[in-house]
C-alpha cells in the first residue's frame, strides 16, 4: 500500500463519511492480468494453475460454489418473493451471471485467501442493488482504533483509492490466523506446488530432448587436442575435440524435431544409452504423490481429480464426503456473511436467513438423495414441499403438512400412552421403561 493511499485512508477514518473516496493514485497494484510477484511462496497463480491438480481443484471448488442457488428462509419456509433473490440468482451485476460472479469470488478466496464482493446499495432504502466482485490484491482490510473493520480498495477500473465500510463488503476468508485476512491455499502449499512445477519442467525438458535418456559416445582413438570452429557470429575460434563432437551430436539428434532420426556414426564412434536410474523409475510415483499432497491441501477426493483407484461405490462416498467435509464449511461462511451483510437488521430480527442449496452437488446420486429425503420425511423434519424446494420443483397443495411416527414417543409420556393403549385393547404385555 502506497504512502498516499495510507494518507487517504487516514483522512477518511478521521472524517464523517465511510463511503468518501480520497483523490490521488494508489500507485502500482497487482492485477489478475499481471500476476507476477503474487506472494505464493515462489510460484505465481499462473504457474501454479499449470499443474493439472491445482487447476482442477481451483476450478472444481469454484464451479461447485457457482452453481448453488441461494434461498431466503423465513423460519421454516422458503421466501420466493424477496428482492435479493433476483440479485443472487438472476443478475448480480450488468456484466456477470450469478455463477460467473460466484466462481470469481471463490477463485479469489482460493488463490489469494480472500474473496470480496462490493455491495452497491440503493441510497434511499439501503437495499443491495448490485454485487461487484473485487480482485483480492486490490483490497486491504484493516481496523481503526475502535476495532471497526474498513476496506481500503483500489478501484478496479480507475485505480483510484477509496475506503468502504465493512457493511458494504462481503468478505469470504480462507484459513485465517487473525480473523481479518485469510491465507491462500497456494501460499500454504507453495513448497508442494514448487516441487510439482519443477518435476513438470523436468519432464518437459526430458521430452524436448528426444524422449531418450542421456548416453555416452565412445571411440577407440585419442580425442585430446583442439579443433578450429566457426562461431555463430562468423568469427573463428577453437574448442576441444570432445566438446566439438558433443555439440554436433546434440545439434543433429536433440530436440523434438530431431526425435527418432537415424544416427550415422563413422571413425569407430559408438553411442551407448545410459539405463534408467532408480530415481528416474520413481519419477511417475513422485508425481502421483504430488497430486495427493495437493488434493489434501484443497480437501478434494482423488476421484474428483481423476486420480487414484476408481470404483463406483467409493466414488459415491467420496462425492458425499466432498460435500460434507469440503463444501459445507465454505457454504456456511458464505451463508453467514450474506445474511449479515445483505439482509436488513429488521429482516434478521424477524428470522430471515440466506441459504445456498448444496443438494445440487448430489443430484447425480439419486439413491443417497432419496434415502435421505425419506428419513427426513418420516422423522417429521421435512415436508413434501421442503423436499420439492431442494429439488427446485414447485410446491403442491397440502405439501406443507409434516408427519411423524407414533412408534417413537418422549419417555416422559411413555407411561401415559402405554396405559391408554392397554385400556383401548392394546398389547397388555407391554413392559415398563
Same domain, 78 and 165: yes
| Of 300, 334, 358, the domain-final residue | 358
Same domain, 229 and 297: no
Same domain, 152 and 41: yes
Nearest partner of 67 among 416, 381, 392, judged by Cα: 392
| Of 358, 392, 415, the domain-final residue | 358
pLDDT at residue 122 is higher than 60? yes
Q: What does the alpha-carbon distance between residue 396 and residue 240 come to, in Å, rounded to a whole number?
A: 89
Q: Average pLDDT in the 321-346 region? A: 94
SS3 340: helix
Give, as one character, the DSSP assignment of residue 28: S
Q: Which residues contact 417 (CB under 8 A, 6 or more apart)?
A: 409
Same domain, 287 and 371: no
Q: Which residues contact 81 (CB under 8 A, 6 or more apart)?
A: none
Which residue range forms the structural domain that includes residue 171?
Answer: 1-213+278-358
Q: What percent of the chain has pLDDT over 90?
A: 34
C-alpha cell at 136: 483480492
pLDDT in tens, 227-276: 787 777 878 888 887 787 777 777 766 666 656 666 666 667 777 665 55
Q: What does the alpha-carbon distance between residue 433 and residue 278 come to, in Å, rounded to a whole number?
A: 69
Same domain, 418 and 284: no
Same domain, 191 and 78: yes
DSSP character string of 111-123: HHSEEEEEEEE-T
pLDDT band at 211 (very low <50, low <70, confident <90, very high): very low
**pLDDT value for 277:** 54
Residue 228: exposed, middle, or buried by beta-carbon count in 10 A (0-12, 13-18, 19+)?
A: exposed
Q: E-strand spans in 181-307?
A: 182-183, 215-218, 226-230, 236-240, 270-273
**pLDDT value for 207:** 58
**36 Cα distance to chain centroid:** 20
Same domain, 28 and 112: yes
Same domain, 173 and 263: no
Q: Average pLDDT in the 348-366 region? A: 84
CB 82 within 8 A of CB 155: no
pTM: 0.66
**pLDDT value for 6:** 53
pLDDT at residue 397 is higher than 60? yes
Same domain, 52 and 135: yes
Same domain, 82 and 223: no
Same domain, 65 and 114: yes
Identify the residue whose cell numbers are 587436442: 225
Nearest partner of 185 among 297, 281, 303, judged by Cα: 297
Residue 100: exposed, middle, or buried by beta-carbon count in 10 A (0-12, 13-18, 19+)?
A: middle
Using alpha carbons only, how large is the chain's radius of gyration in Å?
32
pLDDT band at 311 (very low <50, low <70, confident <90, very high): low
| Of 274, 292, 312, the domain-final residue | 274
Q: Average pLDDT in the 370-378 region? A: 80
Q: What does the alpha-carbon distance between residue 281 and residue 36 come to, in Å, rounded to a whole number?
A: 34
pLDDT in tens, 43-84: 456 678 788 889 999 999 999 999 999 999 988 788 888 999
pLDDT at residue 10 is higher than 90? no
Same domain, 248 and 206: no
**pLDDT value for 223:** 72
Mean of the per-residue pLDDT values for the chain?
78
Looking at the structure of the chain, the number of domains it has is: 4
Amino acid at each position: 500500500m502506497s504512502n498516499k493511499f495510507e494518507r487517504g485512508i487516514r483522512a477518511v477514518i478521521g472524517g464523517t463519511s465511510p463511503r468518501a473516496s480520497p483523490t490521488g493514485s494508489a500507485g502500482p497494484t497487482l492485477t489478475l492480468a499481471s500476476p507476477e510477484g503474487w506472494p505464493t511462496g515462489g510460484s505465481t497463480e499462473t504457474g501454479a494453475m499449470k499443474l493439472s491438480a491445482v487447476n482442477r481443484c481451483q476450478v472444481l471448488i469454484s464451479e461447485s460454489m457457482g452453481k448453488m442457488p441461494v434461498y431466503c428462509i423465513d423460519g421454516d419456509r422458503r421466501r420466493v418473493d424477496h428482492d435479493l433473490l433476483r440479485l443472487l440468482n438472476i443478475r448480480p451485476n450488468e456484466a456477470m451471471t450469478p455463477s460467473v460472479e460466484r466462481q470469481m469470488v471463490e477463485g479469489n478466496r482460493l488463490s489469494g485467501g480472500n474473496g470480496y464482493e462490493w455491495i452497491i446499495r440503493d441510497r434511499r432504502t439501503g437495499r443491495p442493488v448490485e454485487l461487484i466482485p473485487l480482485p483480492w490484491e486490490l483490497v486491504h482490510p484493516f481496523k481503526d482504533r475502535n476495532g471497526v473493520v474498513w476496506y481500503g480498495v483500489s478501484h478496479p477500473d480507475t485505480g483510484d483509492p477509496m475506503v468502504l465500510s465493512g457493511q458494504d463488503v462481503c468478505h469470504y476468508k480462507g484459513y485465517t490466523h487473525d480473523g481479518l485476512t485469510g491465507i491462500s491455499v497456494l501460499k500454504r502449499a507453495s513448497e508442494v506446488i514448487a516441487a510439482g512445477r519443477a518435476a513438470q519442467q523436468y519432464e518437459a525438458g526430458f521430452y524436448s530432448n528426444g524422449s531418450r535418456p542421456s548416453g555416452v559416445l565412445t571411440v577407440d582413438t585419442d580425442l585430446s587436442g583442439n579443433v578450429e570452429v566457426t562461431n555463430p557470429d562468423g568469427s573463428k575460434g577453437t574448442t576441444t575435440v570432445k566438446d566439438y563432437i558433443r555439440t554436433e551430436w546434440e545439434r543433429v539428434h536433440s530436440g523434438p524435431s530431431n526425435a527418432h532420426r537415424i544416427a550415422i556414426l563413422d571413425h569407430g564412434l559408438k553411442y551407448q544409452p545410459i539405463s534408467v536410474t532408480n530415481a528416474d523409475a520413481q519419477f511417475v510415483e513422485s508425481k502421483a504423490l504430488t497430486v495427493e499432497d495437493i488434493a489434501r491441501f484443497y480437501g478434494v477426493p482423488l476421484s474428483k481429480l481423476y486420480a487414484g483407484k476408481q470404483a463406483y461405490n467409493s466414488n459415491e462416498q467420496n462425492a458425499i464426503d466432498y460435500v460434507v467435509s469440503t463444501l459445507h464449511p465454505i457454504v456456511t461462511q458464505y451463508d453467514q456473511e450474506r445474511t449479515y451483510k445483505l439482509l436488513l437488521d429488521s429482516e434478521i430480527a424477524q428470522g430471515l436467513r440466506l441459504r445456498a442449496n448444496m443438494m445440487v452437488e448430489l443430484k447425480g446420486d439419486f439413491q443417497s438423495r432419496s434415502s435421505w429425503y425419506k428419513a427426513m420425511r418420516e422423522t417429521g423434519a421435512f415436508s413434501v414441499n421442503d423436499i420439492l424446494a431442494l429439488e427446485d420443483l414447485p410446491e403442491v397443495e397440502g405439501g406443507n403438512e409434516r408427519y411423524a411416527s407414533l412408534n417413537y414417543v418422549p419417555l416422559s409420556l411413555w407411561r401415559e400412552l402405554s396405559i391408554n393403549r392397554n385400556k383401548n385393547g392394546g398389547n397388555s404385555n407391554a413392559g415398563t421403561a
